[in-house]
Chains A and B, each alone.
Chain A
Amino acid sequence: MSGKDEAELSRLLRAAIAGDEKAYADFLHRIAALVRGFVRRKIVQGGVDPEDVVQETLLAIHVKRHTWRQDAPVLPWIYAIARFKLIDAFRRRGRRIEIDVDDIAETFAEPEVETVSERDINRALDGLPPAQRSVVSAVSVEGRSIGETALKFGISETAVRVSLHRGLAAIAKRFGQGRFGRE
């Protein structure tokens, strides 16, 4: 992590909030790698899958991006959210951890590795109403664009956007409440 990272990431997020999707994709990829490095270093014993925490953090960053003050540094904001989600993940599994703020500085970006384990996010996705679930799956797992998804289901692009937004918000909310199953 460096001052250059900070400047670049805040520039990307500012552009993303102004509506630049390319900048947002770039931003999300970079923070995913950073948060992964942070989380992997913190989880030494088993019980919590680092990638689940990475995904929860990304979702929280997405639905809470209006809480970032554009004139404030972005890295402390990102790590505060990651730390909160990490502690939450440990708490849900009945463990207590203490995390210092200082060792953020030693975090390095890491790439995603394929795992076979069932993801928390899949269980949360399964709990969504069918319309939201199929739209979120189409855009994420199947990698379709908004337009392609609209054609596939025979609905308007606006309807796709609304379902996608509500579906993502609902998954984030389930994570926040520690609910993952199909209630």
Chain B
Amino acid sequence: MRTEDLIKALDADASSKAMPLRSAWWLAAGAAIVVAAVVFLLTIGPRPDFMVAAHTMRFLSKFVFTIVLAATAFGLIRALSTPGASTARAVAWMAAAPLLVAVAVVLELFMVPEALWGTRMIGSNMMICMGFIPLIGIGPLAIFLWMLRYGAPTRPVLAGAVAGLLAGGLAATFYAAHCFDDSPLFVATWYTIAIAILALLGALGGRFFVRW
């Protein structure tokens, strides 16, 4: 088939329509939030003293970290799934969540006596944290990987890893409403590991599933 002939076929298919990628991403984000919410509510749900905890800085800070991670990853993944889009600014924004966590860790180390550092970091339910963040995030990750297939990422492995960070930020936002360990020392350790698991799964998905 000559290129000339191929162009005839492509031109005859000009009327086929697909949803613009940008709108599709918002739809996917909405679907992912619903999936994460359903899994969260059907399994662990929010902690009983949610309303009381909502008045403490440590509890609220967890949501700041996770929502900032999800929002910045959402910005980056949209750029990564669009060929030729500039990613520099979105990459720079990805530093926001780790920086916020780092500042919170330093403050915590000043406020809490050294003898308690270990207890705060180990917390009371790290295994639940490491199990449920990936569990809540796996559905959203599948949606985001499917979206990467719908898009056209020229760096599929990186885009897949960012899909994992996005799913992780989203899942951790829900999980934070359940978790009794509010210390930044706990968050910096166990949330990070749980989200890294999703990022690794995402990178693998990007490598083997995101082909176009």
Contact = CB atoms under 8 A, between A and B. Distances in A.
Interface residues of B, number: 32
Interface in B1-50: 1-16, 18-22, 24
Interface residue SS majority, chain A: helix
A125 B82 CA distance: 27
A177 interface: yes
Query: Helix, strand, loop or mixed for chain B's interface?
Result: loop
B202 interface: no
Interface residues on A, range: 35 or more
Contact of B2 (A16, A68, A79, A112): A112
Contacts of A66: 18-21, 24
A62 B7 CA distance: 10
A79 B154 CA distance: 11
B1 A32 contact: no
A143 B16 CA distance: 19
Given A21-B12, A76-B83, A84-B154, 8 more contacts: A20-B14, A32-B7, A66-B19, A66-B21, A69-B20, A141-B5, A161-B16, A165-B13
Interface of A: 16, 19-21, 24-25, 28-29, 32, 36, 51, 54-55, 58-60, 62-69, 72-73, 75-81, 83-84, 112, 114, 119, 121-122, 125, 136, 139-141, 143, 145-146, 161, 164-165, 168, 172-173, 176-178
